[in-house]
């Protein structure tokens, strides 16, 4: 009721809910719907269906736990989809998986890609300016050191690279896998070629130290790390999961390999390490694709246009205002944006 009262009092033109599956989130969506506020929700990660068999049984031990958790979870997320006017995804693959696994309605779907904003200092950098045919090659990972990132696959591929060319791996980030990964590097005999850089608040400087960026995740939607690396003009190697093939143009401006496949990753890295011109060409194409297709102004306009469509969907009017001089969309709500009270989520 508190959420319904808040929406009744504020009366926004539209309500945008960022992905979540908890009870307060769903209660807020219900409150907005009861108050007659048009709703847009986002799904920015791949859906997750638990793929193990719970040991617990139900109905006095007569029914196994298999599938019951999944069905409950699916019912919860379907409520969100049923109440929304639009569902926004950040890749076609994410959209397809929610429709396939959770039964989300196709007629409400809309894809808006992630945006990347390149600082002015990094805007005109170019690897070809500093190309050294005989210099050491740096391969990097930027992100959490978590099990699903499969950085162990990168280390194993590093150990399998052919001898004869100096190659280093720079790992930016922290996480629960740090100790295990350091131990694996020692076991593989590559500790002297791996630098653990920790967390950085200047990722663009980190990308400038790298020539190849690798993401070996077993599960992704649309990685901002890969998008930033592409915008920085780096050759990227990613796994063919989630929205990563879309992000890298299905091989046109990035290399995709099967998840967990050490030989395939080794072959891709060997190719880019040994062929500097191809590495630079991949980086150049990646830079162009990222900056053109993920420009913040273009992506922001797509959001404004969609929210204006949602806001006008029930009232039969367009809630978007335009600046008299520029003609650009400037706001969705009539007057100002507002947010739910603290603690709602």
Give the burial string for 189-213 (b: 16+ CB within 10 Å, else e): ebeebbebeeeeeebbebbbebbbb
Lowest-pLDDT choice from 1-10, 31-40, 68-77, 287-296? 68-77
Indicate the number of domains in the chain.
Answer: 2
d(CA 29, CA 41): 9
pLDDT digits (tens, 9 = 90+) for 86-145: 999 999 999 999 999 888 999 999 999 999 999 887 766 655 444 555 678 999 999 999
Residue 79 sits in a domain whose CATH number is 3.40.50.2000
Among 293, 316, 339, residue at a domain's last position: 293
Q: Is residue 314 part of a domain?
A: yes
Instruction: Please state whether beta strands 321-322 and 15-17 pair in parallel, antiparallel, or not at all (unpaired).
Output: unpaired
Q: Give the per-residue pLDDT at 85.
A: 94
Residues 233 and 319 in one domain: no
pLDDT exceeds cutoff 50 at 171:
yes
| Same domain? 286 vs 299 | no
Answer yes or no: is pLDDT of 319 > 70.
no
- Say what the pLDDT of residue 76 is: 75
Beta strands 63-64; 57-58: pairing state: antiparallel
- Tokens for 49, please give them: 């269906």
* CB under 8 A, 24+ apart: contacts of 219-222: 219/46, 219/48, 219/148, 220/46, 220/244, 221/44, 221/45, 221/46, 221/90, 221/91, 221/93, 221/94, 222/44, 222/90, 222/91, 222/94, 222/113, 222/114, 222/246, 222/247
How high is the pLDDT of residue 59?
Answer: 55
Same domain, 289 and 300: no
Q: Are 172 and 283 in a shared domain?
A: yes
Assess whether 129 and 272 both reside in one domain. yes
SS3 9: helix
CB contact at 8 A, 217 and 198: no
> From CA 24, how far away is CA 189, in angstroms rounded?
49
| CA 222 – CA 228 distance, rounded (Å) | 11
User: CB of 77 within 8 A of CB of 53?
Assistant: no
Reported as a single tens digit per residue, the pLDDT across 253-295 is 999 999 999 999 999 999 999 999 999 999 999 999 999 999 9
Considering the domain boundaries, does residue 206 fall inside one? Answer: yes
Residue 330: pLDDT band with limits 50, 70, 90: very low
Q: 241 and 169: one domain? A: yes
Q: What is the DSSP string of 164-194?
A: TS-EEEEEE---TTHHHHHHHHHHHT-GGGE
> Is residue 205 domain-shared with residue 322, that is, in the same domain?
no
Is 342 a domain residue? no
Distance CA 74, CA 201 (A): 37
Residue 145 lies in domain? 120-293
User: Which residues, in sequence order, are CB contacts of 185 under 8 Å at separation 6+?
Assistant: 155, 191, 194
Answer yes or no: is 337 within a domain.
Answer: no
89 and 224 together in one domain = no
307 and 241: one domain?
A: no
Please check whether residue 311 lies inside any domain of the structure.
yes
For residue 102, being part of any structural domain is answered with yes
Which two structure tokens, joined as six digits, stand for 338? 């507002």
* 139/288 same-domain check: yes
Higher pLDDT, 102 or 186: 186
pLDDT tens, position by position, 42-63: 988 888 765 544 555 555 555 5
Tell me, yes or no, whether 138 and 233 share the same domain: yes
Contact 242, 215 (CB under 8 A): no
Q: Are residues 289 and 165 in the same domain?
A: yes
What percent of the chain has pLDDT above 70? Answer: 79
Q: Order across the sheet with 235-239: list the strands.
A: 194-198, 167-172, 137-142, 212-215, 235-239, 255-257
pTM: 0.81
Final residue in a domain of this structure, among 293, 320, 340:
293
């Amino acid at each position: 009721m508190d959420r319904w009262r808040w929406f009744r009092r504020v009366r926004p033109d539209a309500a945008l809910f960022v992905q979540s599956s908890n009870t307060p989130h769903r209660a807020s969506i219900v409150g907005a719907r009861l108050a007659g506020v048009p709703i847009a929700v986002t799904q920015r990660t791949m859906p997750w269906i638990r793929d193990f068999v719970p040991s617990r049984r139900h109905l006095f031990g007569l029914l196994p736990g298999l599938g019951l958790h999944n069905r409950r979870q699916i019912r919860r997320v379907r409520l969100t989809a049923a109440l929304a006017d639009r569902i926004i995804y950040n890749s076609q693959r994410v959209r397809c998986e929610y429709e396939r696994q959770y039964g989300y309605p196709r007629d409400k779907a809309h894809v808006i890609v992630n945006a990347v904003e390149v600082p002015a200092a990094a805007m005109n950098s170019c690897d070809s300016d500093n190309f050294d045919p005989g210099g050491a090659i740096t391969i990097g990972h930027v992100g959490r050191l978590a099990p699903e990132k499969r950085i162990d696959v990168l280390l194993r591929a590093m150990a399998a690279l052919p001898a004869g060319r100096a190659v280093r791996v720079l790992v930016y980030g922290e996480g629960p896998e740090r100790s295990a990964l350091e131990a694996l590097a020692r076991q593989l005999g590559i500790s002297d070629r791996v630098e653990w850089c920790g967390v950085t608040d200047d990722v663009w400087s980190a990308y400038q130290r790298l020539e190849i960026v690798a993401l070996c995740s077993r599960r992704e939607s649309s990685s901002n790390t890969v998008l930033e690396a592409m915008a920085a003009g780096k050759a990227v190697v990613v796994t063919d999961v989630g929205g990563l093939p879309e992000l890298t143009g299905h091989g046109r401006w990035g290399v995709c390999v099967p998840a967990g496949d050490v030989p395939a990753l080794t072959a891709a890295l060997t190719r880019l390490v040994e062929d500097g011109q191809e590495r630079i060409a991949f980086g150049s194409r990646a830079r162009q694709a990222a900056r053109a297709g993920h420009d913040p102004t273009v992506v922001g306009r797509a959001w404004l246009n969609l929210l204006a469509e949602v806001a006008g969907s029930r009232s039969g009017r367009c809630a978007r205002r335009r600046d008299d001089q520029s003609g650009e969309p400037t706001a969705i709500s009539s007057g100002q944006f507002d947010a739910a009270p603290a603690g709602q989520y």
